[in-house]
Structures are given as C-alpha cells and as structure tokens.
Amino acid sequence: MSNVTVASPAKINLSLAITGRREDGFHELISLVAPLAFGDELRAGLVPAGSVNEEKTTLACETPGVPLDGTNLVLRAAEVFAAATGWRRAVQFTLIKRIPIGAGLGGGSSNAVAALRAMEMLSGHVLTANERLALAAGLGSDCPLFLHDGPLVMRGRGEQLTPLPEEASARLRGRRVLIFKPVFGVATAWAFQTLAARPEWYASAAESEAALSAWMVDDAATPDQLPENTLERPVFAKWPALPVMLAWLRERHGLVGRMSGSGSACFAWLSADADADAITATIREGWGAECFVCGSVGNAATRTWADSPQLTSMWESISKSDVSKFIELVATDKELMHSRSADGRGPVFWAYEFGEQDILALLLSDNVDINIEDENDKKPLEFYTKGSVADFEAAAKGKVDEMAARLKEAVTVRTTAKAAVEEEEEEEEEEEEEGAAQAEKPKVDL
C-alpha cells in the first residue's frame, strides 16, 4: 500500500472538570468527550525512490496558520512511530483542514492519531493496543481518545479512558449539534496557566464524579444537564464575546451553549425541529460573517454504515462543476445511497453540505427510503438534514420533476456519447479488417 486516506474527526467536551494540578505539571481532569462526524482528512503516501525528498517526511496544508514543520503533531507522530518501529520510509502527508485552529475541538490531537494510523497502514507494521496507546499519550493528553469510537469519560491527564455505558451513549447518538467559533482562538497552555493561578476555580473531584454518575444513570437526563466546563471561567473573563453569545442563544432560541475544551469553539445541542438557519443568523449577527459555524452529529453514528471504496473515490473527486455526474452515479445505484465513504459520510450529507437542494430532492423522491434504519436504529435523514424529516421532505418535493428531467438528460447524453464511441470503434475495426483482407489477396502479374 503506497497511498492512504484517514479520517480525523473533531471532538467536543460535553463536560470538563479540571480538579487540580499534578506534580508533573499536567492537570487532573474528569471529562465526557464525544467524537463528531465532522473533521479533517489526512492523506499519506510513500515518497518515491529517487525523488528530491526521498529521505524526508513532509507535510502540506493549504489552510493558513497550520505549522508545516516539526512542531506539527502529524510530523511528530511520524517521528515517534519511526523511533518505536524502526520503519523510516519518507512519507508525504497532505492535511485537508476543516477543524478550525485554536478551537478546543481536538484538531491537532486527532491529526496526530490519524498520522499514526496512516503510518501503520503504509508500513504494514501493526502496533499492539498498548503500543498505540503509549505513542498517542506521549503526543498529547487528548490524543488517546481518538483511538476509540463513541463517547468516553477521560480521567487522569486524559490517558485514563472509560467508554460511556450504552444506555447513556444512546442518549447522544445521532443528536444534532451546532458548533460555532469566533475568529479568534484560545491557546490551551494560556487557559490552563490562568486557571492554575486561581486554584479556587478548580472543580471538586468528588462533586464532579457524583454529578457525572447521576447523569449517566438518569434515563431522562439530556446533554444540556451535564456538568459545566471549568475552563469557561478564565476564558470567559478575558473574552466576553463568548458568554454574551451563549446568553443570546439562550434568550432568543432557548439553547444551552457550552464551550468545548479550552475554546474558543462553543456548541449547542439542537432539537429535531430547531431552526438552524435562524440560530446561525444570531451567531453571525454577534460574531460577524467570518465566524465558523458547522452542524454535525454526536457519537460519530454515521460510521456504522457499510464502507464503499467507490464512494471514497467519489468524495475525493466531487465538485459542484460536475453535479450531473454525481446525480447520475448516486441516483442510479440504490446500494450507494446506503453506503458511506472512508470518512463516514454519504451522498445525502454531501448534497446538503454543497447546498445542492435539487440533488437532495431527487435523493428523497425515490432513492432514499426514510424508513430504512442502520444498525443503531437511526434513519439517514435524521443524521443529515436540518429541521424535521417531514418538513425537509415537503420542501424538497417541488424539485423532483425538475431533477428527474436532469437525470434523464444526463443519462441520455452519456448513453449517446457511449454509442457514438462504440460506433466509431466498430467502423475502425471494419476498416482494419477490410485492409487486412485486401493485403491477403494474391497478386497477379500481367
């Protein structure tokens, strides 16, 4: 294997209690964290022999502000993997960055674990679970959580991980969550140092454990009722734009917003019928059009669908300039409709993300059975659409006839082009056969 692509999901801290500073300088914490379907993508390939960088592992990323030197956790992960295994082939990494920097969404830590997974696949050297955990923990406190799918409780400095009980996990799976971040970020080191200077702000370990345990056993408890984030106190004191926005969302939309990790990203859980557009408008009113807003689902539930190499390839090549190809492919192969790419995304998600309402209409019309459920008893549209399924379906139906015509036209054009090529090839073959026959005729001397 010479090229691989690895998903690098974001995370949110549903609750985060910082209970004190350890002798080694790290902090003790108790945190419930959950991965998201949203995240980065890391591509990795072996550097060909004889190339200029034959012996050097490199990183490329088009997003401004991403370090491309040895301070980046992707390259550090490659270094520690090489040191642990002795495998030292040069690798070219390309990071497709979607998780904003300085957000508290675990982007760097997730990228590091994605790099470890890529190195394993490229080298063929499979680490044991303990080896993988040790390397991840050495790269950063948040890194070990990305070795797992599903929500976890983190303790210690982050290396002690306990999966959330299934009953509690089910209350998070597939729920809509809105993540939003202002243009500024928060340095993690600053947030912890500022908290350490005010030890009275530390959370009580006993009270935090009790509150989390009570939430886990209460079947009626919602994510909004989880304990708060200790780091909100120092961060909110310096950046009042964060608490003001959370107050706006509470007053205007009845939402309980929280900060994730050390910030500056925040999140709010949305009900099935919440108006995400109106909420987004409120956020942009306060933080400006440049702020980051993204919808996702908790617990990375979409990862349970069957993997499809065809969709993985399609996801990498899709663009709005080739919509007809996309429509034709997914709309004429119903098996694709219930598949996902390597990063856990499927056709309905893509159409929604690219704003292709007409494609969504076609998918809804007769290619997506909204009653089909995956192994977690969740329906595709509950993962990917905003508002209620009924509202979305009703809004989309008006485009069905138009899209059916576009689909028919696209298929006709392709069929005609294919027939023309085949006819031309047949004519060429006939000409070649005729020429060969003429060449084989005996010559007569006169």
Q: Which amino acid is at 177?
A: V
Distance CA 319, CA 446 (A): 68
Q: Which of 11, 97, 181, 378 is catalytic?
A: 11
**Spatial separation of the C-alpha atoms in residues 261 and 275, rounded to whole Å:** 26
Q: What is the pLDDT of residue 150?
A: 81
E strand map for 193-352: 257-259, 266-270, 292-297, 306-307, 339-340
pTM for this structure? 0.65
pLDDT of residue 387: 39
142 is catalytic: yes
pLDDT at 23: 87
Q: 3-172, which class in CATH? A: alpha beta
Pairing between strand 257-259 and 266-270?
A: antiparallel
For residue 319, say if its preceding peptide bond is cis, omega within 30 degrees of 0: no
Please tell me the predicted confidence (pLDDT) of residue 389: 41
Closest CA to 69 of 58, 79, 84, 56: 58
Q: Please, which contacts does 202-210 make with residues 24 or more away whose CB atoms are closer than 8 Å?
A: 202/18, 202/19, 202/20, 202/230, 203/17, 203/18, 203/19, 203/30, 203/227, 203/230, 204/19, 205/17, 205/19, 205/20, 205/28, 205/30, 208/17, 208/19, 208/30, 209/30
Contact status, residue 285 vs residue 279, Cβ threshold 8 Å: no
Question: Nearest CA to 84 among 42, 111, 123?
Answer: 123
Cα distances (Å, whole numbers) of residue 49 to 46, 57, 87, 92, 125: 9, 13, 15, 12, 20
Contact between 201 and 231 (Cβ < 8 Å): no
* 73 close to 108: Cβ distance less than 8 angstroms: yes
Q: What is the pLDDT of residue 430?
A: 77
Active site residue 358: no
Reduced to 3 states (helix: H, G, I; strand: E, B; else coil), residue 64 is coil
DSSP 71: T
**Predicted confidence pLDDT, tens digits, the chain (446 residues):** 578 888 888 999 999 999 999 988 889 999 999 888 778 889 999 988 767 666 799 999 998 889 999 999 999 999 999 999 999 999 999 999 989 888 999 999 999 999 999 998 899 888 888 899 999 999 988 899 998 878 899 999 888 899 888 888 888 877 788 899 998 899 989 999 999 999 999 999 999 999 999 999 998 888 889 989 999 999 999 999 999 999 999 999 999 999 999 989 999 998 878 888 889 889 989 998 888 888 765 543 322 223 344 544 554 554 444 545 555 555 555 445 444 444 444 555 545 444 444 455 555 444 344 333 333 433 334 433 333 444 444 444 444 445 445 545 544 555 566 667 677 777 777 777 777 766 665 554 44
Where exactly does CATH 3.30.230.10 map onto the chain?
Answer: 3-172
Among residues 408, 378, 371, the alpha carbon closest in space to that of 393 is found at 371
Which of 142, 181, 358, 386 does the annotation list as catalytic? 142
| Rounded-to-integer distance, Cα 151 and Cα 109, Å | 16
Query: Inter-axis angle of helices 73-85 and 129-139, to 10 degrees?
Result: 140
pLDDT at 329: 56
Sequential DSSP letters for 107-171? HHHHHHHHHHHHHHHHH--PPPHHHHHHHHHHH-TTGGGGGSSS-EEEETTTTEEEEPPHHHHTT
